[in-house]
Amino acid sequence: MKSLISKIKQLNWKVKILLLAAAAMVFASGAIVVSEQPGFCNSCHIMNNYYDNWKASTHSEVNCLECHLQPGLMGHVKGKINGLSQAIDCIVGRVGTKPSATILDESCLRSECHSTEELLTKDIDFNGIKFTHKNHMKKEVDGINITCGVCHSHFEGDEHFSVNKDVCFTCHFLNNPATNEKLVKTSCTSCHEVPNKVIQRGLVSINHSEFVSYKASCEDSCHKKEIQKTSEIDDRVCLNCHNFTDAEKILQADNRIIEVKEHQYDSIELHKAHTNGHKVECFACHGKILHGQTEVTSVTDMLDCQMCHSDTHQVQRTIYTTQHPMQDTQTDRVLSPMFLTHVECTGCHIEQATKKPGALDSFGKVAKAVPRACDNCHEPGTGQQYISFWQGKIKKLHEQVNNRLKKILNSLNYETDEKKVKESTEKITQAKELVDSVEADGSWGVHNFKYTESILLKANEIISEVP
């Protein structure tokens, strides 16, 4: 060994440089070969689960780089440079805990992998769901370019690159916020065959041929509740990927600035920013959409009373929350202490009582508010003391304003100036809506005494403006 070192020292400096370059090339070649092995990917602890997932998948015989690098020499070079930067990030601790990779269609659709012609012509039965790639490949939905990676992901079961059905539900069931129409027009029979056998559910036999003969719509009748949509996207979901400054202020897409805080953006721009060149799962923002009934409930449980009885307590809600549509939105909101301390309706409506005589009987009861409910939070007797006082004041003011309205209405019967009658009628209508809302609320100030008083005073002010 010493003799070898001494011989190297005796060499010309040009030869030394050549030997050093040769050694560097051998080392680099070895490093390239080693780094291209799947086991090298597994050396980073955040990749362990994905490596195990790949080993158990149908792609286990395919080298990671065959999919994860863009085909061709330039794609390979770019991938190695990017891999080197990732390795440095890993060494210095700048790597996150949730890796994300984008697989290009060119990688999947190579001749030795998946045939485009076969995919476009072959019909697939995916766990009982009819599917064809023809309706999905090279399509755009609300700014999303449908690529292989949009539907196939590593989140389902042991498959490293399988289909995640949650993506299907996101596209097929969510509505476009601008048009309130489905992003993709589809129906139950677009994916499912009508069962040709009689289905037995407990004591009930279901023969779908009967419903088909009556041309019943699946999604508008029996299967109306098969889809459970999620709520609107909460801005806080942005913080799962972006830091606070980015998520609160701006997102950049197509070299344009989209103001997130002011909501000056549309779904198309956001989809382009998150899916073109990036692999962001649909449900990472939209959440999961439940589809497919897992248990049978009774018919009464399936009834949606709000289809007919919608907003039956809207007046009470607007008084309690100080959001009366006739009030100026710029007016300071006179919120009641109960609202500010999050007292719900059931906090005061604690007594079960039968409906008023003469009401249509549906064998039900109503939750009645009683003064003793106040004693749960306040000193005993508080409800008895204040409720009668509030109601007495509001009823007296309501009577005064209402009497003024009646007098003006009577005087209009003798008015001959049509223009004056029209202007007066508009003012009277506005005032009457405010006065009637207080009566319709029925609490006579209990829901929000100061706000109810301000509504009546506003009505009185409008009456005073009657010409």
> Where exactly are the structural domains of the chain?
2-108, 313-354+364-467
Chain Cα centroid distance, residue 222: 25
Whose structure tokens read 């805990």? Answer: 97
Nearest alpha carbon to residue 232 among 190, 270, 188: 270
Q: Which CATH class is domain 313-354+364-467?
A: mainly alpha
What does the pLDDT average to over 257-264?
44
pLDDT of 129 > 60? The answer is yes
Residue 253 dihedral angles phi and psi, to the nearest 5°? -145, 130
Q: Is the pTM of this model over 0.75?
A: no
Which residues make Cβ contacts (< 8 Å) with residue 424, sequence separation at least 6?
408, 412, 415, 466, 467
More confident residue, 3 or 287: 287
At residue 126, the pLDDT reads 86
Angle between helices 13-35 and 73-92 (to 10 degrees): 90
More confident of the two residues 265 and 336: 336
Phi, psi dihedrals of residue 368, rounded to the nearest 5° = -100, 140
Token pair, residue 325, equals 């549509």
Q: Are 444 and 390 in contact (CB under 8 A)?
A: yes
Residues 85, 78: Cα–Cα separation, whole Å: 11
Break the chain down into helix, strand, coil percent, rounded to 5.
Answer: 50, 10, 40
pLDDT level of residue 347 (50, 70, 90 thresholds): confident
Structure confidence by residue, pLDDT tens digits, 275-328: 776 677 777 788 777 787 666 555 555 566 766 777 778 888 888 888 777 666
pLDDT of residue 285: 82
The model's confidence at residue 254, banded by pLDDT at 50, 70 and 90, is very low
pLDDT at 98: 65
Q: What is the pLDDT of residue 250?
A: 43
Mean pLDDT of 218-230: 74
CATH class name, domain 2-108: mainly alpha
| Average pLDDT over every residue of 374-384 | 87
Reading the block at residue 396, the tokens are 């007296």
Pairing state between β 162-163 and 152-153? antiparallel
Same fold? 2-108, 313-354+364-467:
no
- Categorize the per-residue pLDDT at 261 as very low, low, confident or very high, splitting at 50, 70 and 90: very low
pLDDT of residue 390: 92
**329/314 Cα distance (integer angstroms):** 17
Query: Which single residue is written with the structure tokens 């889809």?
Result: 227
Q: What is the pLDDT of residues 63-114, one digit of tens each?
A: 888 888 888 888 778 877 777 777 777 777 666 666 677 788 888 888 888 8
- Mean pLDDT value of segment 168-188: 78
Q: Which tops the pLDDT comparison, 7 or 409? A: 409
Mean pLDDT of the chain: 77
